A and B are shown apart, each in its own frame.
Chain A
Amino acid sequence: MQRSMAYERHLNLEATELRLGLPGSDEPEKTSTTPRVRSNKRASPEISEESRSKGSSSLSSKVENCEGDSAPPAKEQIVGWPPIRSYRKNCLQIRKNDRVYGAGMYVKVSVDGAPYLRKIDLKVYKSYPELLKALEDMFKLTIGEYSEKEGYNGSDFAPTYEDKDGDWMLVGDVPWKRLRIMKGSEARGFGC
């Protein structure tokens, strides 16, 4: 059962930070290895975040699932039960390593100057424009147009994210699909 407890913890590390800030603003202090903890923001406790979030109760429960601190108590696994062939079992183990499913890919979003963080499920969005539109709606701001050469034009805000090396990256440079797949398989890194 130890293996599945490890997977439980894997899930806990999924949530990372996405921060909207003024272009050229100072890098915030680097956080510890558990990216979900951000001490320098006025992060509200989880419970009030959930009640403020627009999502339905199913969203809250998913967040809970994602953020749970303790793994469920380990139960002894019965040999050969449920009756699934070894080949299939092995595939599922590999799959569990590679991908988060069902619980969503939640990231915290903070905006410079806004009092509270928000949380979004990346899996809901199929492309960058969709994601940026959602962020614009959520925070009532404009982010502007993305271009490869110049980044974001026409606004004071630029979306950035912290990648696995701890660097702050501009959202949009890496192809959407590639990042989403990477995110699943490198649970610690962040993809947008």
Chain B
Amino acid sequence: MGPNPKMRKEFPDSTRSSPFPDEVLERVLSLLKSHKDRSAVSLVCKDWYNAESWSRAHVFIGNCYSVSPEIVARRFPRVKSVTLKGKPRFSDFNLVPENWGADVHPWLAVFVAKYPFLEELRLKRMAVSDESLEFLALNFPNFKVLSLLSCDGFSTDGLAAIATHCKNLTQLDIQENGIDDKSGSWLSCFPENFTSLEVLNFANLNTDVNFDALERLVSRCKSLNVLKANKSISLEHLQRLLVCAPQLIELGTGSFMPELTARQYAELENSFIQLKNLNTLSGLWEASAPYLPVLYPACTNLTFLNLSYAFLQSLELESLLCHCPHLQRLWVLDTVGDKGLEAVGSNCPLLEELRVFPADPFDEEVIHGVTEAGFLAVSYGCRRLHYVLYFCRQMTNAAVATIVQNCPDFTHFRLCIMNPGQPDYLTNEPMDEAFGAVVRTCTKLQRLSVSGLLTDLTFEYIGQYAKNLETLSVAFAGSSDRGMQCMLEGCPKLRKLEIRDCPFGNAALLSGLEKYESMRSLWMSACNVTMSGCRLLAREMPRLNVEVMKDDGSDESQADKVYVYRSVVGPRRDAPPCVLNLSGL
């Protein structure tokens, strides 16, 4: 890595602005990994800005429309790894039309010229086509890492292109995408002399892959340490894969459908005994009680257990958790019930993260699931808990207050009481005091999702206490504009605010005029904001993009969905007809 030619200056030492040569500065700065630290460093002075720019190998772009690929390439000439995020988060929940944008191709077109040696691409909520994947596979000879999370627009044909052409691929991670899952034949496209794979995650693809091809692939990739297979992989298959890859650190088991003979069961048990390095386990789609014990020997060093697709009951979970003393992260379905969560509290003292997903989110008459009792039980046993995502049908203010007393270190508190606007089920009061307790007690809180019946008081509390809050999600809550104003005026570190179905109008929207440039984005849907309010915002703040999407048949003056974000490149030119750009008008 030679010195930056732009910076080669011939000044004698005493007139140099920095006390050591540029090469040294670059070298030192190249050790900085956090992009936040790097951004801070770049503001010190011009020399540091330049040195930082030349030494940045990984660039993170949180909103693909905040900047253009040309500007990125101009500032950071030596990038090897790019992370790009596109659509607003509510696109995960079908609130954003499919053709909204966030196409990765314009970025690839610039990268092929400016970063021909690009190695890593991680995309979240981007539109990715098969043509783009093929373009990527054919034009970047050093390409190593592809991660696609919550993207859409491509099919398994695109994956086939990657498998066929990326000779140096080390990671292929395909998660929860809107993929056209035509066939599993892509997996057979890895050439027979291809051996570099370290990470393979195809757990969320549904079509069958050729098992023999997979077995050969796993056998010859000696550095493979992450393998997450899909449902087409049976227990018998799994056993054969584990024999090839005892070095695995992360395993997604495939279906785990019980159907083995006694001898096969013993063989499977043995394969799990050989997995000495396993720290992450997932899959287990059809797992049931008699077969869970085969996992026990491999659980000793588990730190992350993802059971969020396994329909387990409380006893099954308890039996499994007894063998996982070092568990730090646990994802489960609410089929385990409060009793299962009691087992979590009893068996997992080192737990830091808990996510409880609903097995039956759309059925109102369902009488099972988890309640405040389960959450309480976990908080008594797991004092290190700092990340929670909890879907439930009932909650009380008192329970939440106790929970945060037990676990004051929450950084991420995402509570979803599934019935919108539901009060404390014991007192019938709003859930204001619950979230008041959260923000008052958890001073490190970075991310908060609120739910239940909430008045403006909740937002007064948030504004008053949540001084480290960066991400806030609000739905079916608040009484007046004041609620939103409190959030905007009170939370100095707020970066992402997403609001749906709340009684906040133009006054609320406009109270954040000064604020939005310091934020990544604001989303407001099904609120009381009008087109004229949005136009006013756009006029006053030219460096913000103000985009409006209207629902079919809604009133002309209503701004049904509003997306506001800062950008250095002005309004985007690829917006579909359903997206109205109010900026720059």
Contact = CB atoms under 8 A, between A and B. Distances in A.
Given A85-B150, A86-B178, A80 B361 contact: no
Contacts, number: 70
B290 A80 contact: no
A79 B391 contact: no
A81 B475 contact: yes
A63 B475 CA distance: 36
A84 B358 contact: yes
Contact of A77 (B95, B178, B362, B416): B362
A126 interface: yes
Contacts of B420: 78, 81
Given A84-B357, A85-B150, A99-B311, A79 B95 contact: yes
B290 A126 contact: yes
B180 interface: no
Nearest to A177: B258
Contact of B94 (A61, A79, A177): A79
A4 B363 contact: yes
Contacts of A92: 359-361
Interface string B354-372: 0001111111111110000
A80 B93 contact: yes
Q: Which of A7, A87, A96 has the most CB of B within 10 A?
A: A87
Contacts of B359: 92, 95, 101
Interface residues of B, number: 37
A82 to B, nearest CB: 5
A75 B364 contact: yes
A80 B90 contact: yes
Interface in A24-44: none
Contacts of A78: 420
B526 to A, nearest CB: 9
B418 to A, nearest CB: 5
A80 B366 CA distance: 19
A121 B90 CA distance: 42
Contacts of A65: 367
B93 A72 contact: no
A87 B420 CA distance: 22
A178 B90 CA distance: 41
Given A85-B176, A102-B368, A80 B357 contact: no
A77 B420 CA distance: 11
A10 to B, nearest CB: 12
Contacts of B290: 126
A47 interface: no
Contacts of B379: none
Contacts of B500: 80
A154 interface: no
Contact of B95 (A80, A85, A87, A89): A80
Given A102-B335, A126-B290, A4 B176 contact: no
A91 interface: yes
Interface of B: 90, 92-95, 150, 176-178, 204, 257-259, 290, 308-309, 311, 335, 357-368, 391, 416, 418, 420, 473, 475, 500
Interface of A: 4, 7, 61, 65, 72, 75, 77-89, 91-92, 95-96, 99, 101-102, 126, 177-178, 181
A-B CB proximity, top 4 nearest: A80-B93, A87-B176, A72-B365, A80-B95
Given A80-B95, A82-B361, A88-B357, 15 more contacts: A4-B363, A77-B362, A79-B93, A80-B90, A80-B93, A81-B93, A82-B418, A83-B93, A83-B416, A84-B93, A84-B357, A85-B93, A91-B309, A92-B361, A126-B290
